[in-house]
Amino acid sequence: MNKYTLAQRFEQAYQTPASGTVSAPGRVNIIGEFTDYNDGFVLPAALTFLTQVAYCQRSDQRIVVRSSMYPDEVEQFSLTEPITSGDSQWGNYIRAVVFVLHRAGHQLCGVDLLIDSDVPQGSGLSSSAALEVAITGMFNHVCQLGLSLEQIALLGQQAENDFMNCQCGIMDQLISATGIAQHAVLIDCQNLASSAIKIPDDLNLVIVNSNYPRKLVESEYNQRRIDCEQAANIMGVTSLRHADLPLLQAHKSKLSDTQYRRAHHVISENNRVIAATTALAANDMDQLRQLMTASHQSLKFDFEVTVPATDGLVEICQQAVGERGAVRMTGGGFGGAIVCLCRAEDVIVIKQAINQQYHSRFGLHADVYVCQAGAGLTINPN
Ligand code: ADP
Ligand code: MG
């Protein structure tokens, strides 16, 4: 922990006080994986892990950014020049947001920024969406762009799609922008309609990062999206949202085995999200366990995005909590994290099981986060 507050560190870095801070959270997806870009349903929750951005408007047209994660680097560029990729990977997220805001016709102003975050990076908790939403929200506030939370989320997604070359759906940015404390949010990604579901007080959200080294994630991720679009095309629907299992069976012979399985995952996952929403509201652990287990199996066999380390973690945690918990992989897959819904007294049981088994089976150390559902984008002017 740094002993200085973000405001104090901003003043040290820029010799001028910050005008305020903007924060946006990471997220966990309870269920509904790879359904967002198929116009389907998702059930994520924003977390209390936050990315915060301290800001102060400049008198010129420069963007100057520091991140406490990368203390030796300063990212800077001018708003008056075309926005292109720079050498810094993290700096490109800032450029990406400026790029999409310019493209949408928004007039920006120069700013000094200091970023700080306790969202674990690359752990499936979407630190990238938290960063995009925080930066977009900051520009919206400072430059008075008049964007809605939904527009902020869509711009964040475009930054990731069109500048960072990751063809993600809308879930991560939307929940980061619109999350509600102590609630999961059912989102219909077709029209972005949402409804908040209270997470029962006795239910804990435990996230375990496998720390499996992720490789080829973006190309595999983007390929899955293409498989889904092709399957929808062959079935004669605009997206897999408009397909059901009988339609899929009727087209089985026209689909490749891969296309069939990708579509089967998405169609069945949409059904599971709706059922899980009811089960969560009713605190029905039996139902939640069945649905989350089925989701994981579908992600393993149909969508093929799990790895032995995440399959193993799910197995270890599910065996440890037994009927008292529900477990599955969460996020983009190919490593990353798993999520377990369980009672408070079982957190220790899960930690013990992981300590005893995970390293010896997979040669990796897992990080366990006991999380709360938090609020979305927040502006805190001084
Ligand atoms: P995830 O979104 O699952 O955490 P990603 O690989 O999509 O993983 O995004 C992580 C990247 O986002 C980091 O490598 C970094 O470039 C950028 N990032 C996230 N948080 C910060 C931060 N606080 N400061 C600077 N860059 C960050
Ligand atoms: Mg990300």
The CB of 127 under 6 Å from ligand 1? The reply is: yes
Q: Which strand ranges, in their side-by-side order, compose the sheet holding 204-209?
A: 326-330, 337-342, 204-209, 367-371
Portions of the chain given CATH number 3.30.230.10: 6-199
Band of residue 382 on the pLDDT scale cut at 50, 70, 90: confident
Please list the residue range(s) of the chain that carry CATH number 3.30.70.890.
Answer: 204-371
For residue 243, give the nearest of 207, 268, 209, 224 by alpha carbon.
268
Query: For residue 120, which of 215, 34, 21, 50 has the smallest C-alpha distance?
Result: 50
Tell me how long the chain is: 382
Q: Which fold has domain 204-371?
A: Alpha-Beta Plaits (3.30.70)
In this structure, which residue's CA is closest to atom 6 in ligand 1?
122
pLDDT at 231: 98
Q: Cα separation of 39 and 33, whole Å?
A: 12
- Angle formed at CA 290 by CA 220 and CA 242, multiple of 5 degrees: 55
The residue whose CA is least distant from atom 12 of ligand 1 is: 128
Q: How many CB atoms lie within 10 A of CB 363?
A: 8
Cβ(124) – ligand 1 distance below 6 Å: yes
| Interatomic CA distance for residues 225 and 168, integer angstroms | 9
Angle at 36 (CA atoms; ends 94, 276), nearest 5 degrees: 125
> Residue 217: its pLDDT value, please?
77
Q: What is the CATH topology of the domain spanning 6-199? A: Ribosomal Protein S5; domain 2 (3.30.230)
* Residue 311: closest CA among 336, 287, 291: 336
Q: Is the pLDDT of residue 77 over 60?
A: yes
**pLDDT score, position 161:** 95
- What is the identity of the amino acid at 237? V
Confirm whether 60 is a catalytic residue. Answer: no
CA of 226 to the centre of ligand 1 (A): 25
Whose CA is closest to atom 8 on ligand 1? Answer: 122
Question: What is the distance in A from the centroid of ligand 1 to the CA of 132?
Answer: 9
| pLDDT tens digit sequence for 111-155 | 999 999 999 988 889 999 999 999 999 999 999 999 999 999 999
Among 69, 73, 117, 127, residue to substitute to test ligand 1 (most atoms within 8 Å of Cβ): 127
Percent of the chain whose predicted confidence (pLDDT) is above 90: 93
- pTM comes to 0.96
**pLDDT higher than threshold 70 for residue 380:** yes
Please state, rounded to an integer, the average pLDDT across all residues of the chain. 96
Tell me the per-residue pLDDT of 56-65, one tens digit each, with 9 for 90 and over. Answer: 999 999 999 9
Indicate which ligand has the atom closest to the C-alpha of 207: 1
Nearest ligand, CA of residue 337?
Answer: 1
Which residues have CB under 8 Å from 382's CB, separation 6+?
A: 7, 17, 18, 19, 20
- Of the candidates 36, 172, 227, 302, the residue annotated as catalytic is 172
Q: Is the confidence at residue 251, as pLDDT, over 90?
A: yes
